[in-house]
Structure 1
Amino acid sequence: MNSVKTYTLFTEHDVYLFKEGKHYKLYDMFGAHSVEKEGIQGVYFSVWAPNAKKVSVIGDFNNWNDKDHILFPRWDESGIWEGFIPALPLGTLYKYAVETPHGEILEKSDPYALSWEQNRQAASLVATTWYEWNDKEWLNNRWKVNSLNAPISVYEMHLGSWVRDVDDPKRFLNYRDIAKKLVPYIKEMGFTHVEFMPVMEFPYDPSWGYQITGFYAATSRFGSPQDLMFLINELHNNGIGVILDWVPSHFPGDANGLHRFDGSYLYEHEDPRKGFHPDWKSYIFNYGRNEVKSFLISNAMFWLDRYHVDGLRVDAVTSMLHLDYSRNEGEWEPNIYGGNVNLEAKTFLQEFNTAVYKEFGDNIITIAEESSDFPMLTKPVHDGGVGFGMKWMMGWMHDTLDYFKEDYEGRKFHHHKLTFASMYMYNENYMMPLSHDEVVHGKASLIYKMVGDEWQKFANLRSLYVYMFTHPGAKLLFMGDEFGQTSEWNFKQSLDWHLLKYPVHKGLQTLVKDLNHLYRYEPAFYENQFDKTGFEWVEADDLENSVFTYIRKGKRKDDCFMVVLNLTPRVLDYKIGVNAGTHWEVVFNSDDEKYNGSGVKAEVIKEQSERWMNRPNSIILKLPPLAGVVLKMEKDKKYKLHRIKLHKR
C-alpha cells in the first residue's frame, strides 16, 4: 500500500520557469521540506526524473524498501515526482529509488538535500536551513566592502586543514570551533574576506571538495548547516566578507550522485566530447538543457540567499568555455561557427551573472577562475561581456613566480616578467591569486620557490608581497603563505603553526599584516585599482639593477605613493626622478628588523633639482637589499608627514 499523499509546492508558473531555464529558487520546492498537511506534520518530497518508470522514497523509516512510499508523477509532463509522507522528523535518512526504463533500480541521494551522511552510502537527511541570523547591519552595508573601489584582500582556506584538533590531529574541528580561532585571526591579520574552498558535500577528501555530489548541502564533516551559518554570521559581525568556491563545471560519477540520475544522461551532456572531463574523470553539465540551468543558477542563489555569503568564486571557468580544453585534435567538436567556444556554457555564465547581480546588486561579487585570454569576462552582459565582477590574474601569478625563481645575475634577462602585467591589467577587473594550486603536486611552497639561502628566500618573499599588495587589483593569498609554510599544503593535516616561534616566520606574518593595513587604509592603493589613472611607471626598464619604480594614485591629486623594489642582494644609493615641488618620505620598508630583515634603513638621503627619468627633479634613495620600499608624497616641504599606523587600526 502506498503511504504517500498527494501534495505540491509547485505552481504552474514554477514549472513553466523551471522548464524554460528561468527558475532561480528551485530550493523552495525541490528536495525534502517539513510541511503540514491537513493538520498532520510530515515531509514533502519532490525530485526531477523525467525518464523514470517509478520513483520511491526509501529510508531508515521504511527499512529502505521501494514499495511503500511511491511518489506521484506530475500531470504536466515536467518530469517532476512528488508527494507527502506523514510523521517524518528532521534527521530522517532517505534516498530515492529510481526505476529506469530498463527496469534497473538506482538508489540516488537527493540533488537538493540540505545535509548528507558521512559514509560510503551517503544518504540524504531531512534538514532545515532555518537560522536566527543577526548580521543585518553587515548585509545592509556590505556593498561598501564588496565594491570594486574598496580594498579586497582575500584569505583562501581549506576548512579541513587550516587547523585540526590539538588532541586528535586526525579529527576535523566543527564550524563553530573554527569560528573561535578563525575570526580573531582574520581580524588581526587585516584580510577583508575569507574564501572557503568548497563547503558543498563531497565524497572524496583528496578532491579537496571540488568533486561535489551534494550541491545544496553544507558538508557534514564539520557540522550542521546551522554550524556553518554560525561561522559566517560571526565573520560578518566582525566585518569580514565570505566568498565560497562554487563548482558548476563538473561532478563525479558516484552511484548515488547526479550521473545517470534516472538512467539517462540527465544532468550531464550525453556526447562524451562535451560531457566527460578527461583530466578529472568527471562529468560536465549540459548547459544547453534548461532544467539544468535552473538547477545550477538556483544553487548559486541558494548559497547567496540562505547562507548570506558575499561572493562566489567560480571554479574551472576555462574548462567550461573551451570545447577543446585538455583535448587533442579529433576529441572535440567545434561550435556552429567552427570555433572552440562552448556557446551554451557562455550563455549559462551570462545568465548566472545576470541573475545573481539582479537579485543582490553590488552586495555580492562573482569571480572567475579563468586562465586564458577569453575576452570581456568582467564586462557587463548587456555590452557583450560574460558579466563577472572579477577574474583571477593567472598571467601575473605565473610571471611573478617565474621571476622570483631566477638567480640575481639572471634576473636582468627576465626583468619584464614583472612589468608585462601593466600591458593588460586594465583589460579586466583582476584579482591577483597566490592560491592553493601553487603549493601542491611538487610545485613547492611559496618560500621554497624563492632563490637564495634562508635569509634571501624570506627577503624575496617579503619583496614579492610588497609588489603584490601595492600592484593594482584585488589580492588573494592561500593559508600558510602569510607566515611562510615550508612544506607543500597537505589536506590531511593542520598548517605548521609551530613555525611562528621562529623569527623569520613571525616576521613574514607581521609583514603581511602590515601590508594588509597599508592596502586597506591608504586609498591610493585601492580607489583606482581597476582604473588607468591609479598607476604610473617611474622606471620600468632598469634591467641592470633589477629595480622597479612605480606610483600609485588615489582620487585626490595629492594622494600619492611611490613603490621601489630592489630585487638584488645589494644595498643601493638609487637616483629616482620626481616632480618639482614634491617631497618623499619612506613609510614602509620590508627590510625592517621587525620583519626579520637586515635592518638597513631606507631613507631619502638627498633631494636635488637635477632632471632624471624624464622628471624635473630627483632624489637619492638608500635601498636595502632584496627589499620593497614605499614612500609617501608631500607637496609642501613644511608638511607634517602623515604616519601610517600599521596594524593599529
Structure 2
Amino acid sequence: MFVRKSAPLNLVIDEPWLEKYSDKISLRWSKYQSAIQEIENFCGDILEYGSNHHFYGIHFESWRNGWVYREWAPAAEALYFFGDFNNWDRQSHPMKKNPRGDWEIFLPFDQYKDTFVHGSKVKVHVIGANGALDRIPVYITRVIQNEETHDFAGQVWFDSPFPWTDQDFSLAESRKQPLIYECHVGMAQEKLGVGTYLEFEQNILPRIKSAGYNTIQLMAVMEHPYYGSFGYHVSNFFAPTSRFGSPEELKSLINTAHKMGIAVVMDIVHSHAVKNVNEGINEFDGSDHQYFHAGPKGYHEGWDSKVFNYSKREVQQFLLSNIRYWIEEFHMDGFRFDGVTSIMYVHHGLFMDFDNIDLYFDSNVDDDAILYLQLANTLIHKLKPQSISIAEDVSGMPGLSRKIEDGGIGFDFRMAMGVPDYWIKTLKHKQDEEWDMFELWHQLSNRPIKEKSIAYAESHDQALVGDKSLAFWLMDKEMYFSMSLLQQNLVVDRGIALHKLIRMITLSLGGEGYLTFIGNEFGHPEWVDFPREGNNWSYQYARRQWSLADDPLLRYGQLAAWDKSMIQLAKDFQVLASQHARQLHLDPDKKILAYERAGLIFVFSFHPTESFSGFAIQVPWTGSYQLILDSDEKEFGGFERLDTSTTFLTNENQCLLLYIPNRTMMVLKQKD
C-alpha cells in the first residue's frame, strides 16, 4: 500500500528553481501511486500486468494438448488463422471472439502435429472497417521475408530452452559507470553485406572486450521492414530481426557478452511504430485507434509513423509485456529508450528549443506518457533490480533520471544530447582560435548533481548520411589520402590531436557514463548510409572497415590506442563514478582548462599554435605528482614533447609548474 507524500518532494528540495512547479511534480507522484494501486487491484502486481505475451500469441497448452493462438482486436468483424499448415486457406480456420475483444483458436496436437511445426509460416486474415487484410500476428516472435516477393510472414518458432551460462554475470560495474559501445549488428562487419549475430559474437565482441567497454547498446534488434530505418520503424515488437539470424543466435551473442563481462542494453522503440499496415500493428483490428491515438494525433509528422496512446490499459500492457519479454527471454540487461522527448510531449519536441522552464509543465506535456515511463522503469527494476534504463531526451525534462518517489520519472541515466550538438556546432562554425573555454566548461559540466548522464561526443546520429562523424569534420577528404604513418599532413595532425582531446574531455567531464558509436573510436571515415535506391542499394557505407585500425601503417590505430588507454584510465580510477569535476584553472586566451576528478588532475590545452612552459596550475593537494597519461605520446599520434618520467612538485603556492604543448592533454596523479 502506497502512502501519499506531501510536497515538497526531494526533486524540488534539491532543485529549488522547481519550487514554482512543486504541485505539478507532486501530482505526477500521486498519479503514479494511484496507477500502481489500480494495477494491484486489477491483477496483483506490475509483473502480472506486464505479462500479456504469455496470454496472447501462439502457445502450446499441455493441459489441452494443443496450440492456442490469441489476439486482441476489439473492433474487428472476423479473424481467420491461416498459413502453410492449412495450405493458406483464409476461411477454414475462423477464430472466436469474447466480450473483451479477444479472439482465439485452438489447434489440437494430434490433428496438426505434422503440419503445424517448427518453422511453419503463418498469418491472420482480419476483416474490419479497413477491409479484409492479411496480417502478421501482433505477438509473433519471428518474422521472415520472402526473398522473391519481399512479402513478410510470421513464423512459428518452437525453440528448445537455450543453455544459458550467465548465471554469475554481474551488472555492478556497468551500472556504476557504464562505458557503452553503441553498435548495429548488420553493419558491424567489413564485408559488403548484412552481418549476423554469430559474426558479431565471433568477430566484434572480442574487439569490444579488448577496447575496454563494459556495455554494448544494440540497435535495430526489433523487427523492422526497412533496413535503412536503422531499426527505428518497428513493425513486430516481440520478434528479433531475422536479417541477422535466429533468436537462438541472438541469445548466444548475449550469453557470450555476459561471459566476457559485458552488459547488453537494447535500444527499445516505444516512442512510435511503423505505419505500414501489411507488416506492422497499425489498424490491426480495422480501426485507427487500437494501439494508437485516433486521427491526426496518432500520426508523427516528423517521423512518418504512428504514435501510441499511452492512456489505454491495453497499450500499457502491450508495451510493458514487451519489456518483460526481452528481459526474460533474451536476458537483456536494460534499455536505452529511444525518442523519450517525443513520448513526453504532445508536440513531440518538434521545432522546440525548450528555452523556458514552463514548457516542462504546460499542457503540451503528456501526463499519461510520463506515467507509462514511470511504470516501465518500475517494471524493469522490479524484474531485474540491477538493470540499466537510459532515456534519450533532448528537452532536459527535470527529474527524468531521478527516483519516482523523489518526483522523478525513474530512469537511471539520461543521454547528454547537448554535448554532441555542441561539438558539431563548434567544428562547423568556429575557427580554432574562437573556441570559448567558458562555454566548453559550461556545456560539459552543467547538469543536475543527482541526475546521472551518459556523455558522448558522437553517436549514430552524428554519423548518418547528411552529417559527418567528428573525424570527418576534422579531416574530411584528407582521410582518404593522408592517414599514412609515412607522411605528415597538417590537417591530419590537427584532426588527430583534437579528436583525442574532444573524446577525453567528454568522457572525464561530461557525465557519469560514456558512449561511443561502433568504429568512431578509431576515427572511422565517412558516414553511415544504408542500401537504398539513391545509392544503388550499396553496402559501401553500411559496414565498418576494421582493417583501417588494424593496419600498422595507418594512423587510425593511434586513435584506437588512445581510446583504449582513455577507457582503461576511467576504469582504473572509477572516473565516471566519482563526484562532478571541480575546476582548477581556466585561461580563455591561452585556451587552457584544468580540473580535478576522481583524485586525478586533468589539464587540456586547446591552443592551436602556442605551447607554454612553467605554466602554474594550482592543485588541491601538496606533494609530488606523476604524469600517467598524455595525448602527445607517439603511440597516440603525438610528438613526444613531454617527459613521462618527470616528477612534478608543488611550489609554495601549491601549484604545479607544467610544460603544456599546444593541442594536448595530460593526466597527473599524486604520487604515493
Question: 1:231 maps to what in 2?
Answer: 253
Any residues of structure 2 matched to 1:144-155 within 5 Å, and which? 144-147=172-175, 150-155=176-181
Distance 1:583 1:225, change over 3 A: same
| CA contact 1:466–1:590 (8 Å) conserved in 2 | no
Supply the distance in 2 between the matched residues of 1:327 and 1:601 (Cα, whole angstroms): 49
Deviates more, 1:488-497 or 1:115-124: 488-497
Supply the distance in 2 between the matched residues of 1:328 and 1:608 (Cα, whole angstroms): 52
| Cα deviation, residue 608, structure 1 | 5.0
| Cα deviation, residue 350, structure 1 | 0.8
Does 1:96 find its partner at 2:146?
A: no
In structure 2, list runs of 5 or more residues that go unmatched: 1-38, 353-357, 476-489, 531-538
| CA contact 2:623–2:649 (8 Å) conserved in 1 | no
Deviates more, 1:564-573 or 1:577-586: 577-586
Supply the distance in 1 between the matched residues of 2:330 and 2:96 (Cα, whole angstroms): 31
SS in 2 for 1:306: helix
Question: 2:566 maps to what in 1?
Answer: 515
| Cα deviation, residue 17, structure 1 | 4.2
Supply the distance in 2 between the matched residues of 1:19 and 1:355 (Cα, whole angstroms): 10
| Cα deviation, residue 346, structure 1 | 0.7
Give the alignment partner of residue 499 of structure 2, picking from 461, 464, 467: 461
Q: Which amino acid aligns with 1:100?
A: G
| Cα deviation, residue 439, structure 1 | 1.4
Distance 1:505 1:21, change over 3 A: closer
| Cα deviation, residue 137, structure 1 | 3.4
Deviates more, 1:398-407 or 1:455-464: 398-407
Question: 2:641 maps to what in 1?
Answer: 600
Question: 1:122 maps to what in 2?
Answer: 152
Distance 1:163 1:136, change over 3 A: closer
Any residues of structure 2 matched to 1:222-301 within 5 Å, and which? 222-256=244-278, 257-301=280-324
Supply the distance in 2 between the matched residues of 1:328 and 1:404 (Cα, whole angstroms): 23
| Cα deviation, residue 151, structure 1 | 2.7
Give the alignment partner of residue 67 of structure 1, picking from 91, 103, 110: 91
| Cα deviation, residue 480, structure 1 | 1.4
Question: 2:140 maps to what in 1?
Answer: 113
Deviates more, 1:277-286 or 1:601-610: 601-610
| Cα deviation, residue 215, structure 1 | 0.3
| Cα deviation, residue 242, structure 1 | 0.4
Supply the distance in 1 between the matched residues of 2:362 and 2:470 (Cα, whole angstroms): 41
Deviations along 1:436-494, whole A, 9 cap, x unmatched?
Answer: 00112322121122377111101100111221232242000001111111111233332
| Cα deviation, residue 273, structure 1 | 4.2
SS in 2 for 1:215: strand
Does 1:498 find its partner at 2:547?
A: yes
Supply the distance in 2 between the matched residues of 1:15 and 1:291 (Cα, whole angstroms): 16
Question: 1:4 maps to what in 2?
Answer: none
Question: 1:546 maps to what in 2?
Answer: 591
Question: 1:619 maps to what in 2?
Answer: 656
Distance 1:424 1:307, change over 3 A: same
| CA contact 2:413–2:452 (8 Å) conserved in 1 | yes
SS in 2 for 1:456: helix
Question: 1:572 maps to what in 2?
Answer: 612
SS in 2 for 1:274: helix
Supply the distance in 1 between the matched residues of 2:43 and 2:521 (Cα, whole angstroms): 46
Which has a greater percent of helix? 2
In structure 1, list runs of 5 or more residues that go unmatched: 1-12, 554-559, 612-616, 640-649
Does 1:359 find its partner at 2:383?
A: yes
Any residues of structure 2 matched to 1:523-538 within 5 Å, and which? 523=574, 525-528=575-578, 531=579, 534-538=580-584
Distance 1:392 1:338, change over 3 A: closer
Question: 1:487 maps to what in 2?
Answer: 526
Q: Which amino acid aligns with 1:300?
A: I
Supply the distance in 1 between the matched residues of 2:343 and 2:257 (Cα, whole angstroms): 32
Aligned residues: 587
Supply the distance in 1 between the matched residues of 2:447 and 2:40 (Cα, whole angstroms): 44
Supply the distance in 1 between the matched residues of 2:249 and 2:212 (Cα, whole angstroms): 24
Percentage of identical aligned residues: 27
Supply the distance in 1 between the matched residues of 2:244 and 2:95 (Cα, whole angstroms): 32
| Cα deviation, residue 327, structure 1 | 5.2
Supply the distance in 1 between the matched residues of 2:648 and 2:415 (Cα, whole angstroms): 41
Supply the distance in 2 between the matched residues of 1:153 and 1:227 (Cα, whole angstroms): 24
SS in 1 for 2:521: coil
Deviations along 1:356-383, whole A, 9 cap, x unmatched?
Answer: 1122112x11100001121100111122
Distance 1:297 1:37, change over 3 A: same
Q: Which amino acid aligns with 1:567?
A: F
Deviations along 1:224-267, whole A, 9 cap, x unmatched?
Answer: 11110011111111111101100001111212221111111244
| Cα deviation, residue 328, structure 1 | 7.5
SS in 2 for 1:173: coil
Question: 2:26 maps to what in 1?
Answer: none
| CA contact 1:30–1:45 (8 Å) conserved in 2 | yes
Q: Which amino acid aligns with 1:475?
A: Y
Supply the distance in 2 between the matched residues of 1:431 and 1:446 (Cα, whole angstroms): 18
| CA contact 1:275–1:284 (8 Å) conserved in 2 | yes
Question: 2:185 maps to what in 1?
Answer: 159
| Cα deviation, residue 425, structure 1 | 4.7
Question: 1:8 maps to what in 2?
Answer: none
Give the alignment partner of residue 609 of structure 1, picking from 643, 651, 670: 651
| CA contact 1:403–1:417 (8 Å) conserved in 2 | no
RMSD (Å) for aligned C-alpha atoms: 2.6
Question: 1:556 maps to what in 2?
Answer: none
Supply the distance in 1 between the matched residues of 2:267 and 2:597 (Cα, whole angstroms): 31
| CA contact 2:288–2:295 (8 Å) conserved in 1 | no
Distance 1:123 1:353, change over 3 A: same
| CA contact 2:432–2:607 (8 Å) conserved in 1 | yes
Q: Which amino acid aligns with 1:510?
A: A
Deviations along 1:281-306, whole A, 9 cap, x unmatched?
Answer: 10001111110110001101111111
| Cα deviation, residue 22, structure 1 | 6.5
Supply the distance in 2 between the matched residues of 1:488 and 1:242 (Cα, whole angstroms): 25
Deviates more, 1:350-359 or 1:454-463: 350-359
SS in 2 for 1:599: coil
Distance 1:19 1:307, change over 3 A: closer
| CA contact 2:548–2:556 (8 Å) conserved in 1 | yes
Supply the distance in 2 between the matched residues of 1:490 and 1:592 (Cα, whole angstroms): 34
Question: 1:646 maps to what in 2?
Answer: none
Question: 2:20 maps to what in 1?
Answer: none
| CA contact 1:602–1:624 (8 Å) conserved in 2 | no
Q: TM-score, normalised by structure 2?
A: 0.83
Question: 1:645 maps to what in 2?
Answer: none
Q: Which amino acid aligns with 1:578?
A: V
SS in 2 for 1:509: helix
Q: Which amino acid aligns with 2:182?
A: E
| CA contact 2:400–2:408 (8 Å) conserved in 1 | yes
Distance 1:299 1:158, change over 3 A: same
| CA contact 2:185–2:196 (8 Å) conserved in 1 | no
SS in 1 for 2:167: helix
| Cα deviation, residue 591, structure 1 | 1.2
| CA contact 1:21–1:291 (8 Å) conserved in 2 | no
| CA contact 2:214–2:263 (8 Å) conserved in 1 | yes
Any residues of structure 2 matched to 1:201-240 within 5 Å, and which? 201-240=223-262
Supply the distance in 1 between the matched residues of 2:591 and 2:159 (Cα, whole angstroms): 55
Supply the distance in 1 between the matched residues of 2:515 and 2:180 (Cα, whole angstroms): 5
| Cα deviation, residue 199, structure 1 | 0.6
